[in-house]
Chains A and B, each alone.
Chain A
Amino acid sequence: GESVGLHLPTLSVQEGDNSIINCAYSNSASDYFIWYKQESGKGPQFIIDIRSNMDKRQGQRVTVLLNKTVKHLSLQIAATQPGDSAVYFCAETPGGYQKVTFGTGTKLQVIP
């Protein structure tokens, strides 16, 4: 619920602008990455994924960029809409795919 959004870095963007949410991952052995969106009172939902043999992947209005050199992941949302307001988590999975580690999340607020 709402308590999930407390203590999180917050990104405020105007409706219609592009949003960029960043994530630093920790394990250099991670080779599969996912972005999840969590709306208030709900469980996280898959947005887009990328494997380590790629540096960019595009979906509908979303793009994920992967920079393995600096262990950085970003999520770009084009033409941000009020429905995009949520907490966004990156997740990394090292080889073996058994443990999934989530980032602490970023709260996206879209200003109408």
Chain B
Amino acid sequence: EAQVTQNPRYLITVTGKKLTVTCSQNMNHEYMSWYRQDPGLGLRQIYYSMNVEVTDKGDVPEGYKVSRKEKRNFPLILESPSPNQTSLYFCASSLFSPGTGKTGELFFGEGSRLTVL
């Protein structure tokens, strides 16, 4: 089954304790991206990756890091979480066509709800 898998789905942590949210896709997609979703603000892009070892900032990258060492995985790292990073996080992937420079529809994971105390 084609899917994007995120872990953990729920996490409560404390300020300053490093954490990683994993994301894995089994569709051989080149493009992967992380979003956070907050009430009234919709989905905002944190980081994205066009392919292995190629990552770039989205609209709200502060406080986050990512890596893309393998095509299927795109972990989101919070080195020193703060309460304002309490949110619902989504990982997504998409096909990317280098010839046209175009991506297609995004396939989303089920979300990871993070609470930072």
Contact = CB atoms under 8 A, between A and B. Distances in A.
B59 interface: yes
Nearest to B42: A104
A36 B43 CA distance: 11
B90 to A, nearest CB: 5
Interface string B1-19: 0001000000000000000
A42 B3 CA distance: 13
A99 to B, nearest CB: 6
Interface residues of A, number: 29
Interface centre among A34, A36, A98 (most CB of B within 10 A): A98
A39 B105 CA distance: 17
Contacts of A96: 101
Interface in A94-112: 96-105
B50 interface: yes
A102 B36 CA distance: 11
Contact of B48 (A34, A41, A49, A98): A98
Given A46-B105, A99-B59, A4 B37 contact: yes
A109 B58 CA distance: 32
Contact of B88 (A4, A36, A45, A98): A4
Given A7-B40, A43-B90, 11 more contacts: A41-B110, A41-B111, A44-B90, A46-B107, A89-B43, A97-B96, A98-B56, A101-B45, A102-B42, A102-B44, A104-B40
22 contacts: A4-B37, A4-B39, A4-B88, A6-B39, A32-B102, A34-B106, A41-B110, A43-B90, A43-B111, A44-B108, A49-B105, A98-B48, A98-B103, A99-B45, A99-B48, A100-B33, A100-B106, A102-B35, A102-B43, A103-B42, A104-B42, A105-B42
